[in-house]
Structure 1
Amino acid sequence: MDQKRSLKSLLEILIVSTRLGLTSFGGPIAHLGYFHEEYVRRRKWMDEKSYADLVALCQFLPGPASSQVGIGIGVMRAGVLGGIVSFIGFTLPSVIALILFAILLNGFDVSTAGWIHGLKIVAVVVVAHAILGMAQNLTPDLQRRTIALFALIVTLLWQTAFTQVGAIILAGFVGYLIYRKHQESDQTRMQFPISRRFAVLCLGLFFGLLIFLPILREMTSLNWVAMFDSFYRAGSLVFGGGHVVLPLLEREFVPTGWLSEEAFLAGYGATQAVPGPLFTFAAYLGTAISGWQGGLLATVAIFLPAFLLILGTLPFWDTLRRNPKIKGALMGVNAAVVGILISAFYNPIFTSAILAPIDFAFAALLFSMLVYWKLPPWVIVLSGAVGGALLGMI
């Protein structure tokens, strides 16, 4: 009887999450709204406080917040297997779409296509919108704006992966010093069907892979190891959602010659046009580099840290979230992420897309369509591609 009930729960999770994966346009914030409507208001799988606590945890962790919330809801409903099924349902539709797009695009010369230039301008608009929203939430006071400014200057002048990590570590330390006595009045509690022993195992695996993969990459010349390491690191170090992963992945794969900037941005534009999490951009990149097998490998690698972190922290969340020192360090880290994102927004995103006054004018139009007229992202992507093709004829 219990097995039948368990299978029924898993099937229900798969059906609901797949429907959300097919219809959830609009990025992470919109996804959280869809989840709230479906899981809290309609199905009542959890109450308002538990949902708010789960969202708070996923904002606390690096990685794709909306995907982690979906995993967490699946775990609360049907254990670890429920989390896996929830993830598959929400993610698989966009993964399949982007793998097919990469296969179709392979063999075409997209370097001079006008619509590609239009998608570059779309990337400018989308990342600018993400920056404004993040800056309002993550740098509300002078101290955090100063941290963001420091991270912006350092990462703009010295563009290396080490600089980014160093800026994040230093910002965490400064945040700890400034905000270690910061208190919030939040006494809600939440329960998850995961043992602390299993959670520690997941956290150990997360940090073990983060340390071991770069060493293995240096010891071998296997392309799949290098790919797995790059995507795993990107998924491990991204605070702030899918848009922040764009510059990290761009610096991993374009300067090293794994794929061209034009092909990179074509995939980014396509990712904006499909529902589901933005991290599925990895499926396109992996396929463009190494076929559909590479697409699946890249998807597993970039989402694996999110899985390990959400499963590893759920049982400890009540203790962690009440520790002002940890929260203070994270406040500094989040502020630095804003600065890093602005730096990456300028170079390479802005400098490669806005080449003339007419490009800036077109970007302003698309920005207004997205922010003020509230048009859906797929309309912005389609308008950008068509507009870019028209600009190419002028």
Structure 2
Amino acid sequence: MTLKAIIEVLTVSFKLGCTSFGGPTAHLGYFHQEYVGRRRWIDERSYADLVALAQFLPGPASSQVGIGIGLLRAGWLGGVAAWIGFTMPSVILLILFALLMQGFDIGNSGWIHGLKIVAVSIVAQAVLSMGLKLTPDRSRATLAILAAAITLLWQTAASQIVLLLAAGGIGLFLYKHSEVAGSSHSALTMPISKRSGMICLGLFLALLIGLPIVRQVVGGEGLFGLFESFYRSGSLVFGGGHVVLPLLEKEVVPTGWMSKADFLTGYGAAQAVPGPLFTLAAYLGAMISGVKGALVGTAAIFLPAFLLMAGALPFWNTLRQNKKVQGALVGVNAAVVGILLAALYNPLWITAVQQPEDFVLAILLFGMLVYWKLPPWLVVLAGAVGGMLLV
């Protein structure tokens, strides 16, 4: 692929990274308008296939779709350019915000409290929308409720991994012959060989298994510990960016890297910037270890998404027709709703909603998001102002 094509991918994805507010669903709409409608880099059927694959894989769906289009347009470097362009604007903004947090004693400011309440409302919206889509019947709703209960009552590092594996097994048993497991789709053509795909998938698994072992040997402090924690979190997120919240919270708060208040402040700030919510890793890394930590954290949390997208593409046409695989995914998605519901209570609710006025602000912001359909950045601004008024 030519240098011109790579620069073109970087430029277009950077523009999208500066303007794509509203979460992954909105991002996919912006991508469709730009890549399919305006530039015709990819046709409708291939775009739909890429979106389906991104939904199937763990990780940030919108970023993975962008990476896939970059791979199609300009090869491996095109995929890297698409990721850099789309994530760079929000990474820069969140690093600057983290440095501001460290430079001034603003942790107890009213607007910071307002950002925490914003996070409650946004995750509540995510639970509602995901619940309607992913748990529409009794069996899946029951699975979600059990996952929420277990997540709250069994708070260990391994609990969510065990939950997702168990939910996948239940889904395999219950839904392998069900219509909810999906149907056939059009074929997707990508310039990636099966050998390259196997290498990417092998590297993904090697890092997921090997990094924790090495960390046990060399210790969990420093940038290596940060990389391992964020890579593992990025590897296990099904269901969208909001689900990374409980995973990351368990990595950075109990370990003493930062307070729960600072974590929730960053999560609220991440709602106000364009681009993927996974760039919360930039804020967390900067709070833990400055700019180096931000770069390491960002690279670590997105690396699984890149390896999985590049690794799965050559096999997707066959894999997506497998009812057993898709049945397992149905179970995993139901459990994800429960995990996110648990995160709505702890750490969000118990930290942010401490008096009736906080609850009033939370339901007002929830109404702005769900019923009035206001843009997230405006809701974040309203939350910050409301938090100042409450103090």
Residue 84 of structure 1 corresponds to 80
Partner of 2:62: 66
Q: Is the 8 A contact 1:216 1:225 kept in 2?
A: no
* CA distance in 2 between partners of 1:298 and 1:181 (Å): 40
Q: Secondary structure at the match of 2:155?
A: coil
Q: CA deviation at 1:185?
A: 3.6
> Equivalent residues in 2 for 1:336-351 (5 A)?
336-351=335-350
Displacement, 1:213? 0.7
Report the Cα distance in structure 1 between the residues aligned to 2:239 and 2:157, rounded to whole angstroms: 17
Provide the residue aligned with 1:167 in structure 2: 163
Q: 1:217 aligns with which of 203, 215, 218?
A: 215
Residue 111 of structure 1, CA deviation: 3.5
2-side partners of 1:339 and 1:260: how far apart? 24
Letter of the 2:382 partner, please give it: S
For residues 324-376 of structure 1, the C-alpha deviation after alignment (integer angstroms, 9 at most, x for no partner) is 01001111011001011101111111111111111111111111111111111
| 2:129 aligned with 1:101 | no
Paired residue type of 2:224: V
Say whether residues 1:190 and 2:191 are aligned partners: no
Aligned counterparts of 2:11 and 2:159: Cα–Cα separation in 1: 43
Equivalent residues in 2 for 1:133-172 (5 A)?
Answer: 133-172=129-168
1:230-253 deviations in Å (ceiling 9; x for gaps): 100110000011111111111111
Match of 2:113, SS? helix
CA shift, 1:110, in A, is 3.1
Name the counterpart of 1:325. 324
Equivalent position of 1:387 in the other structure: 386
Question: Does residue 33 of structure 1 match 2:29?
Answer: yes
**Deviation at 1:45?**
1.1
State whether residues 116 and 265 of structure 1, in contact with CA within 8 Å, keep that contact through their aligned partners in structure 2. no
Displacement after TM superposition at 1:11 (Å): 1.7
Give 1:102 deviation, angstroms: 1.0
Q: Which residue of 2 aligns with 1:241?
A: 240
Quote the residue 1:201 is aligned against.
Answer: 199
In 2: Cα distance, 1:277 partner to 1:105 partner: 21
Deviation at 1:112, TM superposition (A): 2.2
* Aligned-pair CA distance for 1:161: 2.2
List aligned pairs for 1:299-318, cutoff 5 A.
299-318=298-317
Determine if contact 2:264/2:348 at 8 Å carries over to the other structure.
no
**What aligned pairs does 1:240-389 form with structure 2 within 5 A after superposition?**
240-389=239-388
Give the Cα–Cα distance (whole angstroms) in 1 for the partners of residues 15 and 108 of structure 2.
37
Q: Distance in 2 between matches of 1:9 and 1:219?
A: 43
CA–CA distance in structure 1, aligned partners of residues 107 and 91 of structure 2: 24
Distance between the aligned counterparts of 1:270 and 1:356, measured in 2? 22
* Offset, 1:114: 1.4
Q: What displacement does 1:69 show?
A: 0.3
C-alpha spacing 1:120/1:190, structure 2 compared with 1 (3 Å) = same
Question: Which residue number in structure 2 is paired with residue 132 of structure 1?
Answer: 128
Q: Matched residue of 2:271: which SS?
A: helix
C-alpha distance in structure 2 between counterparts of 1:218 and 1:8, whole Å: 44
CA contact (8 A) 2:230 2:281 kept: yes
User: What is the deviation of 1:274?
Assistant: 0.8
Q: Distance in 1 between matches of 2:211 and 2:264?
A: 27
1:264-289 Cα offsets, whole Å, 9 max, x none, are: 12211221111111100000100110
In 1: Cα distance, 2:269 partner to 2:171 partner? 37
Counterparts of 2:263 and 2:307, CA distance in 1: 28
Q: Output the amino acid matched with 2:319.
A: L
Q: Which runs of 5+ in 1 are unaligned?
A: none
The question of whether the paired residues in 2 share the 8 Å contact of 1:110 and 1:263 is answered with no
Letter in 2 for 1:124: V
Cα deviation 1:90-141 (Å, max 9, x = unaligned): 1111111111111122132233221111111000000001111111111122
Contact 2:101 2:107 in 1 (8 A): no
The one-character-per-residue Cα deviations of 1:6-56 (angstroms, maximum 9, x if unpaired) are 222112111111110111011111100000011111111111111111100
Identity %: 63
- Aligned in 2, Cα 1:155/1:289: closer, same or farther, shift over 3 Å? same
Q: Secondary structure at the match of 1:106?
A: helix
Q: Look up the equivalent residue of 2:122 and give its one-letter code.
A: V
Cα displacement (A) at 1:223: 1.5
Give me the whole-angstrom Cα distance separating, in 2, the residues matched to 1:340 and 1:262: 20
Partner of 2:118: 122
* CA deviation after TM superposition for structure 1 residue 152, in Å: 1.0
* AA of the residue aligned to 1:136: L
Which of 104, 109, 113 is equivalent to 1:113? 109
Q: Secondary structure at the match of 1:186?
A: coil
- Please report the TM-score for the alignment, with normalisation by the length of structure 1: 0.96
Equivalent position amino acid for 2:227 in 1: F
Distance of 2:189 and 2:388 partners within structure 1: 53
